[in-house]
Structure 1
Amino acid sequence: MSRHFTLFHAPQSRSTGTLVLVHELKADYTLHVLNMKAGEQRQPEYLAVNPMGKVPAVLHDGALVTEQVAVYLYLADLYPEAGLAPAIGDPLRGPYLRWMAFYGSSFEPALCDRAMKHAPTPPSMCPWGDWDTMLKTITDQLEKGPYLLGEKFTAADVLWGTALTWITAFGLIPKTPAIAAYIERIQARPAYIAATAKDAELVAAQNLPA
């Protein structure tokens, strides 16, 4: 089975983290770039790929993968030699899946509610509980450092590190010393530097504001 895949990507979007991941994996892929300013993500051609009109999406050997966390999990498992996904049977596999799922099921929904200034939902009715407990859960883990699984760097750190970069830049959560140090570690990696440089090229090509 070929491991070549197509990554549907838009610069200056959440799929930038996936671009960092494929650089970490040294993956064999084709980049299909969407211009979100031109609304290409809402055109029939892309809606046939992902009816939600969201990026990233991956097409590999006839298998379509959407949803950000699913894309990370799929690609990290597709390239096991990169060591970014603890294997089944590894004691770190469970914690790895935990922090991957926590991002998509708790952190991001809570963040969106917070950013939109939605009234708090009673914790008994809210999938992510309450804001303070949710945020403390992840910040406590980051304070243990240097990565989410201790000394082992994984795809979960690509997800969280790239997300926290823009989240703190917009002031949506405080940039505590632990979060700042974590972001700096991720941004110092060659894959992050290469991927963000590529994204800057794509921004320029689309005449998007930097």
Structure 2
Amino acid sequence: MDKYDVKKDRKALYAPSAKDFTVVDVPELRYLAVDGAGDPNTAAAYTEAVEALYGTAYALKFASKRNLERDFVVGPLEGLWRAEDPAAFLQRRKDAWEWTMLIALPEWITADTVADAVAATAKKRENPALALLRVHVFTEGPSVQILHIGSYDDETPVLERLHREYMPDNGFAFNGDHHEVYLSDPRRTEPARLKTILRQPVRSAKTV
């Protein structure tokens, strides 16, 4: 049985250089998603969202393998981040952050299958975030990305270089939420070795 792996199928999106910014065209993709707000280090809603995503993703994996004879690797945790004041990111004012946490879905997983997996997960453990879980489909299009190696709190210099140098120098403007892909498990990886993809959807600054 072949095993689908989004990181291999979409290698250009999940294996960027750590040396230079690169431009990719991100197609329409489907995700499990939970929305929330607050400091990811302290907000209970964030922990509940991540647990709901992983619990449901693994329930989907087992159900797909059992019922459809199609297996897949559960993708990495991803996050869309936004704030009313964009400076909140560079200043690491985490209480002001809003987020949508994500895990990519194979194309054959339907909304009904997701609903069944949520119900199965809820029977094992009560989690209020399961009621918020949804299928999110969106297209980021042209985006600039880079691989950051190090602590999440050390992303600021990279983001400043992206926002204040690379984007203006290349005629880009913001065109969507800041997107992060967490390739490392922070429970098992020391902060200095964490690998995180930093992605920013862009458009031409000349576009009205």
| Normalised TM-score (structure 1) | 0.26
Which of the two has greater strand per residue? 2
- TM-score w.r.t. the length of structure 2 is 0.26
- Larger relative CO (CA 8 A, sep 6+): 1 or 2? 2
